[in-house]
Chains A and B, each alone.
Chain A
Amino acid sequence: MQEVLSIKSMPKEVKIGLLDKLGYSSDGTFIFDKHGKKVIDKYIDLPVRVDNMFIYNGSTVILDNNPLSISSFLEEYGDVI
């Protein structure tokens, strides 16, 4: 089970730097993959915002932080967090 760190208090610049380290980029609002494609939360079909993200490293999953996406994630991946 992975420990989950809240990044609520992490400054946006650091979040963007963190994404950069993981191979993603951001325009300050949305997140883009290495092909420059906006990252979409696959469970709700909406773009993920840098100020409301959930990042899990199984094969990196970036989702919107909301109960619908998180319960869908737990349904698919099991109790990994």
Chain B
Amino acid sequence: MSFEGEPPDPLKSVAEGVAQGTLEWTAEKIEDIVCKFIDKKLAFIEDAETIKIIKRQKQKAEFGQFKYYCHDKYAQIIFQAGLALREYEENASNTKYDELIRKLGHKFKTEGIHLSWFAKDGLFGEYLTILLNQGLGEEEIRKEFNILINNIELHVAFISNEKVNSKKTIKQKAEEITSKITSHSPNIFIITGMGLAKQKAEEIHRIVTKKICDYDCKIISTKNKEIFILTYNEMC
């Protein structure tokens, strides 16, 4: 690319000024990358790690299984974002985590955030295992996931430490969950709490299971999470 005969190139003059202090971004280098961009050989990104994260998620068996059972493109994208959230959480990348949650919420509202948490917390695998153990066929499992992704609030309760912060709100949340379970009789209902909400999830689970009796419960307890998976059992 030649700038000869053209008015002064703003990029070149800026780069020349900057290059004095930032050797990496010389005018020549910038001219070269602009040429490569125009020739469609190069793309730019603030942080290339974002692409690597997404490519890693796409290779995961967990995502492959989700894609197999759930053909909804938006759900697949949210699921990948959920797996990226898991990486941010594991690496304590709090700013990136919060930013992604904000963007998920802006585009897909609370339901989108909850679906991403469903992926992040590994609940898909748990859910799938139960459905397979119940002897459901592929199409039935697809139907179950279709129902789940379109009505996640009726199948999973993510207990928030901010919203559930007193005995009264714990009781209210337990009543809300009990009501969802009794009115919709979901095959599986999950109550989960993270960090400071762990104990609250436990209390809510205790109140709920006093009121409903036809569900078995599997508890997954980790350092930072408490997950209660209630599965309908007609023999109860």
B43/A18 in contact, CB under 8 A: no
Q: Which residue of B lies closest to A81 (CB)?
A: B43
B33 within 8 A of A: yes
Render A1-42 as a binary contact track against B, CB cut-off 8 A, 1 for contact.
Answer: 011111111110110111011100000000000000000000
B45/A54 in contact, CB under 8 A: yes
Determine the distance from Cα of A31 to Cα of B25 in the docked complex, in whole angstroms. 21
Interface size class of A (residues with CB under 8 A): 35 or more
Determine the distance from Cα of A11 to Cα of B198 in the docked complex, in whole angstroms. 44
A55/B103 in contact, CB under 8 A: no
Q: Which residue of B lies closest to A45 (CB)?
A: B107
Interface centre among A17, A55, A58, A68 (most CB of B within 10 A): A68
Interface centre among A6, A46, A58 (most CB of B within 10 A): A6
Binding site secondary structure of chain A: mixed
Q: Which residue of B lies closest to A22 (CB)?
A: B37
B139 within 8 A of A: no
Determine the distance from Cα of A45 to Cα of B109 in the docked complex, in whole angstroms. 12
Binding site secondary structure of chain B: helix
B81/A3 in contact, CB under 8 A: no
Residue in contact with A70 in the complex, picked from B41, B44, B51, CB distance below 8 Å: B51
**Chain B residues near A72 (CB-CB < 8 A):** 77
A17/B25 in contact, CB under 8 A: no
- Which stretch, B16-24, B163-171, B226-234, touches the partner chain A? B16-24
Q: Which residue of A lies closest to B21 (CB)?
A: A11
B45/A74 in contact, CB under 8 A: no
B14/A6 in contact, CB under 8 A: no
Determine the distance from Cα of A55 to Cα of B50 in the docked complex, in whole angstroms. 13
List 20 extra interface pairs beyond A16-B14, A45-B107, CB under 8 A: A2-B40, A2-B41, A4-B43, A5-B33, A7-B44, A9-B22, A9-B25, A11-B18, A11-B22, A11-B25, A13-B18, A17-B10, A18-B34, A21-B34, A55-B43, A55-B45, A67-B100, A68-B104, A68-B107, A72-B77
A interface residues with partner B (beta carbon < 8 Å): 2-11, 13-14, 16-18, 20-22, 43-46, 51-58, 64-72, 74-75, 81
